Amino acid sequence: MTELSKVNTKKDSANYKIRLVVQTLVFAAFICLLIFADPIAEKDGTVDVFLRMSPLSAIGAMVAAKEFIVRYWPAFIVLAASVFFGRFFCGWICPLGTTLDITDSLLKRRRKRISYKIYDGKRLKYYILAFLLLSLFIGHQMVGWLDPISISTNAYTIVIHPYFVSLINSFFGFLHKFYFISFVSDPVHGFLKEALFALHAPFFRGHFIFLIVISVIILLGLFYKRYWCRNLCPLGALFALLSGWSIFKRVVGESICDSCDRCNVDCKMGAIDDTGMKTQAGECILCMKCQAICHTSAVSFTRIQPTEQDEPINLTKRGFVTACLSSAVVAPLLSLNFQKKKSQGNLGIIRPPGSIPEDKFRAKCIRCGECMRVCKTNGLHPTILEADLSGMWTPQLIPRIGYCAHDCVLCTRVCPSGAITRLDKEKKQRLAIGKARINRNRCIPWVGYARLPDLDKNWEDVSCGVCEEVCPVPTKAIHFNTYVHGNGKEIRRVYVREEACIGCGFCEKVCPVNGRSAIVVEGIQPQVMTSEISMIEKDIFPVSIEQWKRKERSKVYAGKDKLFEYMNGGAEVYLSYSFNHVSTVTYIKEDTDNSVKVDIWEFGNSDDAYGVFAKDRAGKEINIGNKASLYENYLWVWKNKYFIRIEPYSGSITPDDVTFIGTSIVGNIPSGKVSLPAILKYLPEGGYVEESARYFHKKIILDNLYIAGRFIDKNVFNLSEQTDAVVAEYRSIKNRLPFKMLLVKYSDKQVAVESLNNFVELRESWGEKGLKTGSVHTFEDLKGTFSSITCVNSIVIATFSVETREESESHISEVVSKVKVID
């Protein structure tokens, strides 16, 4: 070796060492991002940067989902760099490639020498790439199964990390038996668990399947180094297709090379031919090993490679046709799902919070396992066949293993493809990912209730309620339907408030029933926001109001069925408005038997809350909320979209008591700009009896208001949720008795005209003589009083039981004038 060649060898060796340092640092960064995924994810979005660097995953997610995903910008940088530097990613960055370098060195002694002439498998990866890309256009995402970044993330997340943690725990558990050693080992173990690994060894369902997969990939190294990278990796094939433009290609100085064949033997990718002169550019990963070991310094990497030194890959049309036909045949088979057919179309899988609708979720999900890694409760696991073959290895929540923590949003921060959207904690806590269902044949209280005849003979405590205790929903999605036995004993039968349940699975996790839980959460797609119960979230019911103490947490009755459960009768009246829920609580005065009951009703809008208030109120008006009335020791309040009713429950309650409690509670309700329902502005002011207006939508309210001499059986005014109506009472100097006025506003003028005609026909059917003045119809009843009706724009205006025809029509005309001015 000449002195010049010695100098060049040192220089060439330095390039190889630089590559080793970079590869080591990148791999260390990959491991650190996995180990410290939790704290990193809480602060920024760098934890998934490796997954977002894969152009194959980027193409797969975007083509399958038919949308551009901005978060994959690192992949575009890598793709652009590959145009200039070829397959540098495989040799410098890829964590799976680095893993195989490590394992290949361990298998060195057992590796068999196999002639490359037996079978050149390098072309396989191109056919696999074609298979995957065509499947995307058919509509199935299979890229994630074979993307090396996803494979390496899964390998370390689902297999290596859990096994390593278990090994560490077992080792330190053994040391713990020895007192003098445990004095030192226990603190070290605690540090490792908290800072580096996990408080417990995570377990992942299906881990053995992936153990087999990663083991096969590693053991293929027994044949030759980087078997996966050479023959099977579709991402490597993608980079290889771009390597033709690379500015760094292997060039051999023919006059210097002595054909020692060391480069050919040591090339981990088999990119160099037997002579050492030719190189398959698409197979070279720029590891610089051949340059470092060349004792003549004949190898260099330059932009221009002699044509005779380029050895192309021999791809065949037959191979591509086979790949395409395989994709066309296999892809539809992936949609077979007997579980879905068995459950009548409902998969029941609980997807992570923030998951997009199911079909698009499968298209975007790259099966990387990153969300499973960061799950604090170890609740996220890969599906196997639950979501059919096309959904295999996508994440699902298994509550019996781990629930979805109420204050955790980590899985929404680490998804590289956007299959799981980013959520803030407040939104996540109101997002329903599933709904709990109670199996009464397994639930302890319900089974006990079914055994009442036996309990009569020998009473035993069958109460449980663990699920209610752990429910994180502020209003509790699990409540009790209490049965009180004749002996005074209680059986608290649990039920689920479906509208409040977010499907976190905490109840299923803690259920004490052995085997399958008595309460099971079923996933829902798409995920929906639960109904807002803002007044409870803002703690409108304080624990104490001076000497008044809250007896227990409020009970919430939401929806039609629960309202009927709360009220024995009269629920239909409240349901005729936009009823959301009613919350009820009892306050007891210290050292007395005095107690008051507080009901807070939430409606869809402030108009309906006013309507209920106006319907129920009595007594004198007082200054609380938007409006309030006090009658003896009963208080009614309207504020915003809430109606509050406070009434005595036991003992001696004074008006001051209910006023004091009402003022305190109403003050906690969020204020907002509200006004009286718009239809009230059409009412005439002259003769109006204060606080007599009754605002409503449906006929059930009108039935409870005496407006005519006879009961109006049919819905002649076509009252419905879409109509706004008001009945008000009037007095005048001329009239000895009060009369009523009805206004109904319709969304369609044609319906208004139809209602007018219905009323005219009704009065005529009663045998009343009708008189018409312009557009106003007036009828005289048997008592000699008059009722008039007309229609202007989409509003029907009617008066009832007015003593004179002139005054009846005068009030109609006054409203008509107001309507024309206002509208």
**Is residue 301 very low, low, confident or very high in pLDDT (cuts 50, 70, 90)?**
confident
The answer on 572 and 503 residing in a single domain is: no
pLDDT of residue 201 exceeding 70, the answer is: no
In a domain, 65, yes or no: no
In a domain, 629, yes or no: yes
The answer on 553 and 477 residing in a single domain is: no
Residue 259 confidence (pLDDT)? 83
**Is residue 533 very low, low, confident or very high in pLDDT (cuts 50, 70, 90)?**
very low
pLDDT of residue 218 exceeding 60, the answer is: yes
Q: 0.75 exceeded by the pTM?
A: no
* Count: domains in the chain: 3
The answer on 783 and 766 residing in a single domain is: yes
Q: What does the block give as tokens for 50?
A: 């490796």
Per residue in 381-412, pLDDT (tens digit) is 999 888 877 788 899 999 999 999 998 999 99
CATH code of the domain in which 744 resides: 3.40.1000
Mean pLDDT taken over the chain? 85
In a domain, 643, yes or no: yes
Residue 382 confidence (pLDDT)? 93
Within 8 A by CB and 6+ apart from 667, the residues are none
The answer on 690 and 650 residing in a single domain is: no
The answer on 402 and 360 residing in a single domain is: yes
Last-in-domain residue among 468, 502, 525: 525
**Is residue 536 very low, low, confident or very high in pLDDT (cuts 50, 70, 90)?**
very low
In a domain, 176, yes or no: no
Per residue in 307-362, pLDDT (tens digit) is 777 777 777 788 888 888 887 787 777 766 555 544 444 567 999 999 999 888 98
**Is residue 535 very low, low, confident or very high in pLDDT (cuts 50, 70, 90)?**
very low
For the residues 611-634, what does the mean pLDDT come to? 92
The answer on 559 and 493 residing in a single domain is: no
The answer on 559 and 423 residing in a single domain is: no
Task: Please identify which residue in the block is written with the tokens 């109101």.
Answer: 430
For residue 752, which amino acid is it? A
Residue 591: phi and psi, rounded to 5, are: 60, 20
Residue 129 CB neighbours (<10 A): 22
Q: How far apart, in whole angstroms, are the C-alpha atoms of residue 777 and residue 701?
A: 24
In a domain, 288, yes or no: no
**Is residue 647 very low, low, confident or very high in pLDDT (cuts 50, 70, 90)?**
very high
DSSP character at residue 356: P
pLDDT of residue 1 exceeding 60, the answer is: no
Instruction: Tell me what percent of the residues of the chain surpass a pLDDT of 70.
Output: 92
In a domain, 307, yes or no: no
The answer on 353 and 491 residing in a single domain is: yes
For the residues 647-658, what does the mean pLDDT come to? 93
Query: How would DSSP label each residue in 72-98?
Result: GHHHHHHHHHHHHHSSHHHHHT-HHHH
Structural domain harbouring 555: 534-666
Last-in-domain residue among 640, 666, 692: 666
Q: How far apart, in whole angstroms, are the C-alpha atoms of residue 738 and residue 747?
A: 30
For the residues 441-447, what does the mean pLDDT come to? 91
Per residue in 114-148, pLDDT (tens digit) is 544 445 688 899 999 999 888 888 767 888 889 99
Residue 411 confidence (pLDDT)? 92
**Is residue 685 very low, low, confident or very high in pLDDT (cuts 50, 70, 90)?**
confident
In a domain, 315, yes or no: no
Per residue in 747-791, pLDDT (tens digit) is 889 999 999 999 999 988 888 888 888 899 999 888 888 999 999
The answer on 557 and 490 residing in a single domain is: no
For the residues 97-103, what does the mean pLDDT come to? 94
Is there a contact between 420 and 352 (Cβ–Cβ < 8 Å)?
Answer: yes
Residue 754 confidence (pLDDT)? 93
The answer on 462 and 433 residing in a single domain is: yes
The answer on 516 and 548 residing in a single domain is: no
Q: How far apart, in whole angstroms, are the C-alpha atoms of residue 777 and residue 797?
A: 11
DSSP character at residue 532: P
Range name among 275-289, 637-651, 751-765 with the lowest pLDDT average: 275-289
Query: How would DSSP label each residue in 414-469?
Result: S-SSSSB----HHHHTTEEEEEEEE-TTT-HHHHHHHTHHHHHHS-------HHHH
**Is residue 792 very low, low, confident or very high in pLDDT (cuts 50, 70, 90)?**
very high
In a domain, 468, yes or no: yes
**Is residue 433 very low, low, confident or very high in pLDDT (cuts 50, 70, 90)?**
very high
pLDDT of residue 732 exceeding 50, the answer is: yes
Residue 531 confidence (pLDDT)? 61
Last-in-domain residue among 525, 549, 574: 525
| Helical segments of 36-72, H only | 37-43, 55-65
**Is residue 30 very low, low, confident or very high in pLDDT (cuts 50, 70, 90)?**
very high
pLDDT of residue 478 exceeding 90, the answer is: no
Residue 346 confidence (pLDDT)? 55
The answer on 742 and 723 residing in a single domain is: yes
